[in-house]
Amino acid sequence: MKKVLVLPGDGIGTEIVAQGVRVLDAVKQKFGLQIETDHALIGGSAIDATGVPLPDETLNKARAADAILLGAVGGPKWDDLDMAVRPEKGLLGIRSQLELFGNLRPAILYPQLADASTLKSEVVSGLDILIVRELTGGIYFGQPRGIRTLENGEREGFNTYVYSESEIERIGRVAFEAAQKRGGKLCSVDKHNVLEVTVLWREVMDRLAPEYPDVELSHMYVDNAAMQLVRAPKQFDVMVTGNMFGDILSDCAAMLTGSIGMLPSASLDANNKGMYEPVHGSAPDIAGQDLANPLATILSVAMMLRYSLNEVAAADAIEQAVSKVLDAGIRTGDIWSEGCEKVGTQAMGDAVVQALNELSLNG
């Protein structure tokens, strides 16, 4: 029996995860999978219940699980709390404690959504890129950090951007291996012209390259990469970058797929144990209104089945079901266009479950 820990979190997190769990239940039934689910608190809801964003009970359950499904954390209610007890600290804490350093963020444009993107359809049609983001290091975790008062009474905030060679090497290997399985192209994104950390980053990527002769490695500055992502995104196959650049570039890539509500992610440790979550946040502006697109979460369930639970057929079935739902013109508001049927979060979940069940009837 495999164990999946479900962490709904805050805001739309609870709404979208509920649909993800329904889809997981549907494939469990369809494929006879032996998977049990348990729930725990993280983020603002954990702060409200226990005073901390990552309770020990959650961390212990996460360590014992084979995979974790997370919604999103954060919201205005907790925005004024001290950094150490903010909801986001819970998410960063679980990533770091479980050493989930390899964050895969695939940006794939479903052909049915070519018109949903704010970019011209010829720019994005056929888009299939993978952003590999380092997730447990860099400026997010570097020490020292804080806000201090100077002698003149003025305060200054400071963070440290640091990567060790071994941290760069392990994320580099994840990216080279991913590129080997895909189109054979890897673009490493850095700020080598300004930041020493990324001088080392580039050096390590170059050092690894001869071990992967079937992968063509290139380098790009992050500012140019942001521009190229909206100018001509199909030039990319796999992109690898550090924690903060990867955060920013993946939101940008999300929009190429029509909506941030479409982008799933996997955060993996060295043994492919992982946490799966949509790339978007808790969307306080639409929370509790049945408006959120649950497809990024549902597609994250597919990634979980593929990478951590080794149930490739079930993963394929979910992706096919999503495609069928889009074929049928069913859309949440964020991906809606003229002539399509606008539905809410739950109805989108219903549609995916129904499409899955129909797949099983047809064999």
Catalytic positions, written as ranges: 140, 191, 223, 247, 251
Smallest gap from residue 247 Cβ to ligand IPM (A):
4
Q: Which of 102, 97, 75 is nearest to 265 (CA)?
A: 102
Smallest gap from residue 331 Cβ to ligand IPM (A):
24
Amino acid letter for position 4: V
Q: Mark 286-325 with x for binding to ligand NAD (rule: CB under 6 A) and - for no binding.
A: x-----xx--x-----------------------------
Check residue 236 and report its DSSP letter.
-
Question: Is residue 75 involved in binding ligand NAD (CB under 6 A)?
Answer: yes
Question: In this structure, which long-range contacts are made by residues 279-282, counting pairs with CB atoms below 8 Å and at least 24 apart in sequence?
Answer: 279/105, 279/250, 279/251, 279/254, 280/72, 280/254, 281/11, 281/72, 281/73, 281/74, 282/9, 282/10, 282/11, 282/12, 282/13, 282/43, 282/71, 282/72, 282/73, 282/74, 282/75
Question: Which listed option, ligand IPM, Mn ion, ligand NAD, none, makes contact with residue 75 (CB within 5 to 8 Å by class)?
Answer: ligand NAD
Question: Is residue 319 involved in binding ligand IPM (CB under 6 A)?
Answer: no
201 labeled part of a ligand binding site: no
Binding to ligand IPM (CB under 6 A) within 226-265 occurs at 247
Q: How far apart are CA 287 and CA 91, in angstroms?
A: 19
Planar angle of CA 271, 273, 276, nearest 5 degrees:
140
Question: Residue 88 or residue 311: which is nearer to ligand IPM going by CB?
Answer: 88
Q: How far apart are CA 205 and CA 192, in angstroms?
A: 12
Question: Is residue 247 involved in binding Mn ion (CB under 5 A)?
Answer: yes
Question: Which residues make up each annotated binding site for substrate?
Answer: 95, 105, 133, 223
Give the interface with ligand IPM as residue ranges (CB under 6 A): 74, 88, 91-92, 247, 279, 281
Give the interface with ligand NAD as residue ranges (CB under 6 A): 12, 16, 72-75, 88, 91, 260-261, 277, 280-286, 292-293, 296, 334
